[in-house]
Chain A
Amino acid sequence: MSTLTVLYECQGILPVLILSVTGVVILLLDAFSPLGRKGQLGAVAVTGTVCALGTLAMTPSGAEFFSGMVVWDRFSVFLSAVLMAGALLVFLVSFDSLRRSGMECGEYYALVLFATAGMILMVQAAHFIMLFLGLEIFSIAIYILVGMPRHEKRANEAALKYVLLGGFASGFLLYGLTFIYGATGSLSMSIMAAHLGKAEKVFNSYLLFGSALVVAGFAFKLALVPFHLWTPDVYEGAPTPITAYMAVGVKAAVLGALVRTFWVALPTVHPHWSAFFWALAAVTMTVGNLMALAQDSVKRMLAFSSIAHAGYLLVAVVADSKEGLTALLVYLLAYTVMNVGAFGVMVAVQNRQESGERLEDFRGLAGRSPFLAVLMALFLFSLAGIPPTAGFVGKFMVFSAAVQSGYTWLVILAVINSVIAAYYYLRVVIVVYRPAEGASAEGPADGASRLSAGERGALVGAGALTAIVGIWPHVFWDLARQAVHVLF
């Protein structure tokens, strides 16, 4: 390959390149920036991410690059936008939290940038080598980010648990891929699909075994229920901004890869899995919601709620139609903004009090900071799926797509689950608006109203998006529909 060809091919991975280069630049700048002024590095990270987001404005060609390794189509663009928006919000939320916990360093920003690059590679992969590399890049970066508060036992435990179980999951995925490779003779998604198209016996045991292991690997990363045991501890032990990042980024990236795997590479195989996905979705949302009911810690409650949301997302996969996948993308966008928002409010509360994880810590938040209280209520309403918020729109689209495909019972179960979920989300809202005990002693507004620019920007941004997606859903529906179009 000549230099010119390589440069031409690079347009297919432009966001990945920008993010990775920004990460490297931050690592280099870190060496020269004086102690206590590492905040500048965060500004560089934000700038890099915004630039990478800007490149998405170009119309994607839908072509494959680097001899069929990655594809740059509307599907990649939509999910990349969701991923980078999530990363951007997490950066903005992180600044003060890092300063407070004394973890401010360039490596934090660099690792989040690398992880985002890996996630984008995963959703634009047209070859399973790229899919696996993307998965490993973001997994390794996140293992480290989880364990960064090294003096906290909880974080150590979380990081160790995540790295051990995550290693197993990667192993399962890789082992499954070797079987699929054996069945089709290629790891390229398009060649695989072509091979399956002309093979007379479509569903041989090689493929069955291989795709079972691949599903297990994905299910672990998505925290679907039989594979979810690590989730609450890891989400609780990680620094809160990283919990937010894990909850949204990993889900978007892995679901994107799952859709590509089963719709692009194995189009004849996935109908055989719909019953299994059905069961996974049903168990995941039910167990997630029931466990969330019993939690005293809001952080842990949000961890279980993210398991439940993975179940709703899977309902869209079960629907197995254009509408279903479109709804999946819109729901992912909604889930990203409202979840980062809810975690962001928690970070802001943590920055002002000793702790901000237990339900008690949120008591009387409305008195201390009406701004935070309103936003928390908005995000929780959205998570509960109350109109007119993004969460309602996402759920409505997913459920109606599933009904159209004839999965009425699953949708009935999902609606019952949403009602259960509303209880524990609204419980937090009620606590927020209840007067604090001994409020006068603490003083009504001890700096709580003075949010930093980063926090304000992130929360207002997430809140605005939650409202916009809720009020003008058709804009996002059209974008998602165009994105899904390339898969059929």
Chain B
Amino acid sequence: MELLIFYAFCVGAVVSALLMVTTKRPVRAAMSLVATMSFLAGLYALLNAHLIAVLQLIVYAGAIMVLFLFVIMLLNIEEKEGKLAKNVFFIQLAGTVVVGILMVAMVVVMNKIGAPVAGAAVDETFGTTKAVGWMLFTKYLLPFEIASVLLLAAIVGAVILAKRRIDNSKA
């Protein structure tokens, strides 16, 4: 049963990812990305990583995708489609080559390794919200707190780049 759900999510993720890169309409691409994210969230849930699954839904499928859609709406991209048409063949070729190399590398590596070295058993609470919360406030306290500096820098940056004018002195 679990295997069946796993395969269903896998196929769903791959198909919607393919749809995302092949469709010509930006909104459709964005919605396909939402679907991909949701299927991935399902995979996380199957791995017993409840918190990651929920975060994936809230942050990626939710907040970030809303942002994407807003940008698409504001830019009104649809009319500009086909602007790259001149070199599109070379772009496709280059993309295929790069992805192909990456894929070969991945397959070779994956085949060689077999089972991961650290295949130690994890207990049942692993990946649950409670366990993650416990880790965040004990072992990973410093990264958790330092992330606030990162966020603060990003917020300050967003404000300063969007502010109407910086030059206070010449006002």
- Cβ-neighbour of A67 out of B105, B113, B116, B139 (below 8 A): B139
Q: Nearest-CB distance from A312 to chain B (Å)?
A: 31
Q: Nearest-CB distance from A209 to chain B (Å)?
A: 5
When the two chains form their complex, are residues A105 and B138 in contact, meaning their CB atoms are under 8 A apart? no
> Is A107 part of the binding interface, using a Cβ–Cβ cutoff of 8 Å?
yes
Instruction: Report the Cα distance A129→B135, complex, angstroms.
Output: 13
Stretch at the interface among A143-151, A244-252, A343-351, A436-444: A143-151
Known contacts A107-B159, A137-B149, A185-B120: A129-B140 contact under CB 8 Å: yes
When the two chains form their complex, are residues B167 and A141 in contact, meaning their CB atoms are under 8 A apart? no
Contacts of A141 in B (CB 8 A): 153, 157
When the two chains form their complex, are residues A38 and B146 in contact, meaning their CB atoms are under 8 A apart? no
- Cβ-neighbour of B109 out of A104, A114, A121, A209 (below 8 A): A209
When the two chains form their complex, are residues A1 and B141 in contact, meaning their CB atoms are under 8 A apart? yes
In the complex, per-residue mask of B97-119: 1 if CB is within 8 Å of any chain A CB, else 0: 00000000100110011001110
> What secondary structure prevails in chain B residues at the interface with A?
helix
The size bracket of the interface on B is 20 to 34
When the two chains form their complex, are residues A111 and B143 in contact, meaning their CB atoms are under 8 A apart? no
> Is B154 part of the binding interface, using a Cβ–Cβ cutoff of 8 Å?
yes
Instruction: Report the Cα distance A107→B137, complex, angstroms.
Output: 30
Instruction: Report the Cα distance A127→B160, complex, angstroms.
Output: 32
In the complex, per-residue mask of B80-103: 1 if CB is within 8 Å of any chain A CB, else 0: 000000000000000000000000
> Is B1 part of the binding interface, using a Cβ–Cβ cutoff of 8 Å?
no
> Is A206 part of the binding interface, using a Cβ–Cβ cutoff of 8 Å?
yes
When the two chains form their complex, are residues A184 and B117 in contact, meaning their CB atoms are under 8 A apart? yes
Contacts of B112 in A (CB 8 A): 204-205
In the complex, per-residue mask of A82-121: 1 if CB is within 8 Å of any chain B CB, else 0: 0000000000000000010111110100110011011001
> Is A468 part of the binding interface, using a Cβ–Cβ cutoff of 8 Å?
no
Q: Nearest-CB distance from A328 to chain B (Å)?
A: 26
When the two chains form their complex, are residues A147 and B142 in contact, meaning their CB atoms are under 8 A apart? no
When the two chains form their complex, are residues A111 and B156 in contact, meaning their CB atoms are under 8 A apart? yes
- Cβ-neighbour of A118 out of B108, B149, B168, B171 (below 8 A): B149
When the two chains form their complex, are residues A102 and B167 in contact, meaning their CB atoms are under 8 A apart? yes
> Is B166 part of the binding interface, using a Cβ–Cβ cutoff of 8 Å?
yes
> Is B75 part of the binding interface, using a Cβ–Cβ cutoff of 8 Å?
no
When the two chains form their complex, are residues B166 and A102 in contact, meaning their CB atoms are under 8 A apart? yes
When the two chains form their complex, are residues B149 and A114 in contact, meaning their CB atoms are under 8 A apart? yes
Q: Nearest-CB distance from A24 to chain B (Å)?
A: 7
When the two chains form their complex, are residues A206 and B161 in contact, meaning their CB atoms are under 8 A apart? no
When the two chains form their complex, are residues A144 and B117 in contact, meaning their CB atoms are under 8 A apart? no
| Residue in B closest to A138 when the chains form the complex, CB atoms | B153
Known contacts A1-B141, A130-B146, A185-B118: A114-B169 contact under CB 8 Å: no
> Is B150 part of the binding interface, using a Cβ–Cβ cutoff of 8 Å?
yes
Contacts of A184 in B (CB 8 A): 117-118
When the two chains form their complex, are residues B168 and A104 in contact, meaning their CB atoms are under 8 A apart? yes
> Is B147 part of the binding interface, using a Cβ–Cβ cutoff of 8 Å?
yes
| Residue in A closest to B120 when the chains form the complex, CB atoms | A185
When the two chains form their complex, are residues A110 and B147 in contact, meaning their CB atoms are under 8 A apart? no
Known contacts A111-B156, A185-B118: A121-B168 contact under CB 8 Å: no
Instruction: Report the Cα distance A205→B117, complex, angstroms.
Output: 12
Known contacts A107-B156, A121-B146, A130-B146: A66-B168 contact under CB 8 Å: no
Within B122-169, the residues touching A (CB, 8 Å) are 137-143, 146-147, 149-150, 152-154, 156-157, 159-161, 166-169
Instruction: Report the Cα distance A36→B49, complex, angstroms.
Output: 53
Within A410-460, the residues touching B (CB, 8 Å) are none
When the two chains form their complex, are residues A102 and B146 in contact, meaning their CB atoms are under 8 A apart? no
5 residue pairs, one from A and one from B, having the closest CB atoms: A185-B118, A102-B167, A144-B157, A66-B142, A205-B112
Which residues on B are within 8 Å of A, measured CB to CB? 105, 108-109, 112-113, 116-118, 120, 137-143, 146-147, 149-150, 152-154, 156-157, 159-161, 166-171
